[in-house]
Structure 1
Amino acid sequence: MLSHASWSSFLRASSRRSLFFTPPSYLAANVATNTSPSLRRSFQTETTPPSYPEFAFAFDIDGVLLRSSDPLPRAHEALSYLQSQRIPFILLTNGGGKHELDRVSELSEKLSVPLDTSMFVQSHTPFADMDEYKGKTVMVAGGDEDRCRIVAEKYGFKNVVTPADILAAYPDIWPFSRQLLPYYKAFTRPLPAPIDPSSPSTSLKIDAVFVYSDPRDWGLDLQIIKDVLLSQQGIMGTLSPKNGDASLPNKGYQQDGQPPLYFSNPDLLWAAKYHLPRLGQGGFREALEGVWAALTGGEKGGVQLQKIVMGKPHQPTYEFAEKRLVAHRKKLLSQFDGSLGHLKRVYMVGDNPESDILGGNSYRSPLGTDWVSVLVQTGVYVDGTVPAHKPRKIVGGVYDAVSWAVQQEHWKS
């Protein structure tokens, strides 16, 4: 997990981000065309609802609102209804690979609902607040082309290197991707320093490794990350003399100033267009763990791969999401001002028992808010199977999840 200091700065920064309030004029138009007659009458005749909602929603995206890039049935209707009722929600995803502004713009268009970054948390959002690395040289892996590098630069990182940059400069470092060099050279950049182990003081040095999104070239990324983790102080081309030293913690591995390794999400599987779940970033991490164990002896030999894994189902991600949701709710329901009471429940709607449901079930809210896990059947979960982590409710799709939750709350629309 992240250090207390890193997460504290992350949570503080979240409160500084802009908040979003859906204009009533948009809602009136949206509801008039996209909701049932009874809901339209309710919205049009009541300028101020009789009471404010004491509940809210957190939605996963892939497998809940979208299947790959295609909206799932009634996803638009579900979100439009919540916006018409001023029921707060955020999108909480282990996906990534693009800047938050770009992703929110795409989602708004695909789902035909107005969204804002204040309502959106993706896997690598926490990286934006790691100021301690922004003046150093970091390696960013994953995503299409060099889009994750661009995201990192928008976050404020000054010196960003990718595995493809290293391959383009030194093709022998991973000879099995030589055929991809024409593709890589279209977006790679010159390295800020050469790889020269004979001159460590002037050689390329990596200060942190971030896996932003699912890697595309697993072999290349595994090789480069392995090299960095076995190096001396992150200096490319070197090999630490401490590796394998049984007198040191972790048998000397990652005990010689090597850079920290961050994964933005743990998902082994995710729901894509193909009818069966596909391997995600968690699959890449497992592959790296396997290579690491083969090289070092692994846990059986007393060696662990030291890394920081973020995203759902981990507690800090939910803490940040809850903080953002509370701030959004306060702005959305500002007409109640000082009378706005405590957020009692959040319905965590997801398709993946290992992330969405486990996270919702195990999260302990510092505010005392009850997180209710709701599993939909439109993504990773296969109907008829027993989920690894039992949700409070299993429903068909996202509209069913909203309908059930609203009934539970006795909300009068």
Structure 2
Amino acid sequence: MLALRYTWRLPQSHGLRFNARRALQTVAAASKIPEFAFAFDIDGVLVRSSDPLPRATKALSYLQSQRIPFILLTNGGGKHESERVADLSSKLDVQIDTSMFVQSHTPFADMDQYKDKTVMVVGGDGDKCRKVAEAYGFKTVVTPADILSAYPDVWPFSQQLLPYYSNFTRPLPAPIDPSSPSTSLRIDAVFVYNDPRDWGLDAQIMKDVLLSKGGVLGTLSSKNGDTSLPNNGYQQDNQPPVYFSNPDLLWAAKYHLPRLGQGGFREALEGIWAAITGGPTKGVELQKIVMGKPYKPTYEFAEKRLIAHRKAITQTNNKDLDPLRRVYMVGDNPASDIAGGNNYTSPYGTDWASILVQTGVYVEGTTPEHQPRKIVGDVWDAVAWAVAQEKWS
């Protein structure tokens, strides 16, 4: 874990004139304990793909110099938190700690009920997401690529990728043998950690798991299609729960138009599921748990992180620290960042105010589906507007 440090960046580092009087004003402001904080999305707000956006460093450096707490709250993922914050710290030239960072699958680390079971991890580059899950404490982690490598006929349209998969696949912990369910490979939970790369393979294996009896690969539940059961019998036979870490349909990449994200894969899977089961017209849904922005569990998790981070940087006991009055949620995606900030009701009575920037998914001049408290040009404009609202000098 990175050491938690704060670098005091004086205003002349941004090309502004500096004098001793302004230095004293900065120190005086930093001695106060702000009653507001920030939560920043990353892609489209601080970076675009892997490139830092202009004035992102200026915004975060200013907040650190003022000891105004902030966390990074992203629907991205695919790497361990320590790797992500090291990369961002280097790119943005701002020291960031894992305690200030919540990505889409960070809440999975708290799911102790599955850590001694066999889970399937889907998505991400190579087997990086498997390694993240293992770092979280999950002991037996299987990927769809492991299954394809052991049984190539399971999805014939990805066999040309077997040489690539051989670089990181592992032997299965048990064979796929439907004639002996007690000794066959059983999946106890499915986690989509990051955007899937091989949609066909991943959708096929997840479909097989969801139609199985009790999560045993190669089996087919006799309850499927039983109209006397809830959901017409689908997912009513101890099939594993399915967790999606990120609902984003689109995200801002280097290409000038938004790209499909994990939400696109989920929509595709739900379309396949509806075609097989009859879908909503037959009263059948794909039962799943979706995490990430704009969903409440992610904001609850993030708010707890932010409170703990605020306590750490102020070095104040909880009993001596007034609650946060406001958190500014700064994002580029109306469907996730803005909707989440608008709809979240804090159990601590904190007001979450959404700010939409024009450096990512949102297209200037269009009407956002979810209206923010303020629309600004970039992240520095967001910070400047918020601190003005708070009359912070």
For this structure pair, what is the TM-score category when the shorter chain's length is used for normalisation?
Answer: over 0.9
Cα deviation code 1:178-217 (max 9, x no counterpart): 1100000111000011111111111111000000000000
- The corresponding residue for 2:162 is 181
Alignment of 1:7-406 (within 5 A): 21-23=4-6, 26-28=7-9, 33-34=13-14, 36-38=16-18, 42-43=22-23, 47-49=27-29, 51-334=32-315, 339-406=320-387
Which deviations, in whole Å up to 9, do the C-alpha atoms of 1:141-174 show, x marking residues without a partner?
0000000000000000010000000000111100
How far apart are the structure 1 equivalents of 2:19 and 2:273?
56
Q: In the TM superposition, what is the alpha-carbon distance from 1:53 to its structure 2 partner?
A: 1.2
SS at structure 2 position matched to 1:90? strand
Distance 1:20 1:402, change over 3 A: farther
In the superposition, relative to structure 1, how do residues 140 and 39 fare at CA in structure 2: closer, same or farther (>3 Å)? farther
Q: 1:339 to 1:294 in 2, by over 3 A?
A: same
Matched residue SS, 1:255: coil
Q: Name whichever of 327-336 and 392-401 sits farther off.
A: 327-336
Alignment partner of 2:119: what SS? strand
User: SS of 1:206's equivalent?
Assistant: coil
**Aligned pair in 2 of structure 1 residues 134, 324: CA closer, same or farther (>3 Å)?**
same
Q: Which moved more, 1:51-60 or 1:254-263?
A: 51-60
Give the conservation status (yes or no) of the 8 Å contact 2:104–2:292: yes
Return closer, same or farther for 1:54/1:208 CA change in 2, 3 Å cut-off. Answer: same
The whole-number CA distance in structure 1 between the counterparts of 2:66 and 2:55 is 17
1:334 maps to amino acid = Q
Deviation of 1:46 (Å): 5.3
Contact 2:11 2:18 in 1 (8 A): no
Structure 1 residue 62 displacement after superposition:
0.3
* Residue equivalent to 1:5: none
Distance 2:23 2:212 in 1: 62
Partners of 2:342 and 2:355 in 1: CA distance: 10
Q: Could you tell me how far 1:340 is from its partner in structure 2?
A: 3.1
Counterpart-to-counterpart distance in 2, 1:332 and 1:85:
11
Distance 2:199 2:5 in 1: 42
Amino acid of the residue matched to residue 232 of structure 2? K
Deviation at 1:316, TM superposition (A): 1.4
User: Is contact 1:31–1:80 with CA below 8 Å preserved after alignment?
Assistant: no
Is 2:4–2:96's contact at 8 Å kept on the other side of the alignment? Answer: no
The DSSP-based 3-state class of the residue aligned with 2:191 is: strand
Contact 2:123 2:194 in 1 (8 A): yes
The whole-number CA distance in structure 2 between the counterparts of 1:41 and 1:236 is 70
In 1, the alpha carbon distance for the partners of 2:224 and 2:204 equals: 17
Shift in CA distance, 311/276, structure 1 to aligned 2, threshold 3 Å: same
Rate the CA distance shift 1:246–1:339 in 2: closer, same or farther, 3 A.
closer
Q: For the aligned residues, what is the CA RMSD?
A: 1.8
Counterpart code for 1:406: V
Counterpart residue type for residue 22 of structure 2: S
Is the 1:242–1:256 contact (alpha carbons within 8 Å) kept by the matching residues of 2? yes
Identity %, equivalent residues: 73
**Distance change >3 Å, CA 61–CA 46, structure 1 → 2:** closer
Shift of 1:337: 7.7
Q: 1: CA distance between counterparts of 2:330 and 2:148?
A: 41
Report the Cα offset of residue 334 of structure 1: 2.1
Distance 1:38 1:241 in 2: 75
My pick for the range that moved more, 291-300 or 50-59, is 50-59
> In the alignment, is the contact (CA less than 8 A) between 2:39 and 2:71 conserved in 1?
yes
Change (3 A) 1:43 1:58: farther
- Conserved in 2, the CA contact under 8 Å of 1:90 and 1:120? yes
Distance 1:364 1:312 in 2: 14
